[in-house]
Structure 1
Amino acid sequence: MTILVVGASGATGSKLVEQLLSKNHQVKAIVRSPEKLPESWKTNKNLQIIAASVLDLSDAEMSNIVKDCDAVASCLGHNLTFKGIYGQPRKLVTDATKRLCHAIKSNNRPKPTKFVLMNTTGNSNRDLNEPISFAQKCVIGLLRLLLPPHVDNEKAADYLRTQIGQNNHAIEWVAVRPDGLINEEVVTAYEIHPSPTRSAIFNAGKVSRINVAHFMASLMDDDTLWTQWKG
């Protein structure tokens, strides 16, 4: 498979690239600062590094990048600095998701392209009417007012849920909502649930970035797993 990863130089995105390369996929990685990447990436014949900011690419450039991609994964996020949280672009994840989906649709590929969005357990799936306590609803409401990245994550997933939907001929999608992220060196046993099993605010769990990357990679190259979780 040929797979595009945006946010490839991030803490989870880099793990995803490594997982995909270990499975011998052809990987395209859009990164703003290629000079910071591992030397092993620069010499890997299965990896094409595209030096760019995803929002600065023209529509034609974006369409050309995704035209041969069987899957696209977004691991974009905001840096946890004042500028990263409150500066521009405030809708990085949402705008990138929209532009990538537009580019995918413009190519009219004969089969749907898989789109995997790394999201957050703090975002509810309104299609499932997930139970949320009143206290958590209050905190989430404050987060929407105070933390633009949370709104960005919500709107990106909502775009896939409401605008791409469940029966789009060009795109099938999965939004992966990991709990609190930690660093580990190897993949360990993990469980996947359709909805949070604990409060994302008051009883958050932990999951390693490499496990999240392993699941995202598995989604893209395991059709049975994809069928189980798409949409």
Structure 2
Amino acid sequence: MRILITGAGRGLGYALVCEALLRGHDVIAGIRDMERDKEHLLDLQSGKGSLSLIQLDVANENKIVQAKALVESEIDHIDVIINNAGILIARDKSIETLDFADMEQTMLTNVYGPMQMIKHFLPLLRVSKYPCIVNVSSEAGSFASAYGGDYPYAISKNALTFFTAQLKKSLIPDGFSVFAVHPGWIQTSMGGEQAPGNPEDTACGILDMIERKIKLPDDTWMVDHKGQPMPF
């Protein structure tokens, strides 16, 4: 399969690139900072699959349009988009001290970014025999797990999960697999070294779902990395 992964330079995105290549998939790795991430990604070229890199800032629609044009000039379709890129800022801010510039930046990356990715890349997905959209969300954005903090991140992930539900309603009749995934608390720059999980295990679970080795329930749109339904 041809898999486009955003935020591929580090953390879960990097683990997804590694696992997808090991399984023989053709990976398009979207990275915002080419200078920082190019070399360590190119070291993965020895995998069974093929790897190509594109500069991609999901918070900038013009950059998404340019990336889509570049991809479209090389190939006629993609099979999977994994909207993994995201940010976590203003963690220590109460609602009284919250700077809405942080709120706007978070929504731009965590919600509008995936929406714009689908807006522009959907025509390439529609050509696939087995199209799939994966939005990396979070338990922090569910009503069942609501807590008084992380306002930008939690609200953005709640919106992303709802967008996933909308996409599923719209695209399932066309043969799409669409789901949001809670990756778990994993050891990344966002999750911290104290996290109990690791991105490699999460990447394996997500790839199993993409490859349809794990059958997802028809009536859910958010699952954990093992494919188990999450409360909304």
Report Cα offsets for 1:15-40 as digits up to 9, x if no partner.
11111111121100111112222635
Alignment CA distance shift 1:96-1:63 (3 Å): farther
| TM-superposed deviation, 1:161 | 0.6
2:201 is aligned with 1:211: yes
Q: How far did 1:112 drift?
A: 4.7
* Contact in 1 for aligned 2:186/2:196 (Cα 8 Å): yes
Alpha-carbon spacing, 1:62–1:89, altered in 2? closer, same or farther (3 Å): farther
Report if the CA contact (8 A) 2:141-2:156 is conserved.
no
CA distance in 2, matches of 1:120, 1:149: 9
1:102 and 2:116 matched: no
Deviation at 1:96, TM superposition (A): 1.8
Task: Mark the CA change 1:35 to 1:81 in structure 2 (over 3 Å): closer, same or farther.
Answer: farther
- In the TM superposition, residue 172 of structure 1 has moved relative to its aligned partner by 2.2
Q: Distance in 2 between matches of 1:105 and 1:168?
A: 15
- State the Cα deviation string for residues 165-194 of structure 1 (Å, max 9, x = none): 2734164212111332226xxxxxxxxxxx
The residue number in structure 1 matching 2:5 is 5
More helix by share: 2
Task: Provide the aligned length of Structure 1 versus Structure 2.
Answer: 193
Query: Which of 72, 83, 88 does residue 74 from structure 1 map onto?
Result: 83
Match of 1:113 in 2: 131
Deviations 1:122-141 (A, max 9, x none): 233x7xxxxx4xxx55x2xx
* % same residue: 15
Q: Which residue of 2 aligns with 1:192?
A: none
Kept after mapping to 2: 8 A contact 1:11/1:209: yes
3-state SS in 1 of match to 2:216? helix
CA distance in 2 between counterparts of 1:63 and 1:148 reads 31
Q: What amino acid maps onto 2:208 in structure 1?
A: S
1:65 matched to 2:71? The reply is yes
Residue 228 (1) aligns with residue 232 (2): no
Structure 2 equivalent of residue 41 of structure 1: 41
Unpaired runs of at least 5, structure 2: 92-98, 189-194, 222-232
Residues 120/87 of structure 1: CA separation in 2 closer, same or farther (3 Å cut): closer
SS at match of 1:173: strand
Residue 86 (str. 1) matches residue 102 (str. 2): yes
**What's the TM-score once normalised by structure 2's chain length?**
0.70
CA shift at 1:162, angstroms? 2.5
Deviates more, 1:90-99 or 1:33-42: 33-42
Is contact 2:132-2:210 (8 Å) kept? yes
On the 8 A contact 2:88/2:153 being kept in 1, the answer is no
Offset of residue 87 of structure 1: 6.2
Q: Which amino acid aligns with 2:59?
A: L
Matched residue SS, 1:3: strand
1:153 is the counterpart of 2:157: yes
Q: Secondary structure, in 3 states, of the residue corresponding to 2:81?
A: strand
C-alpha distance in 1 between matches for 2:66 and 2:53: 18
Partner of 2:186: 181
TM-score between both structures, scaled by the size of structure 1: 0.70
Contact kept, 8 Å, 2:89 with 2:106, in 1: the verdict is no
Letter in 1 for 2:117: L
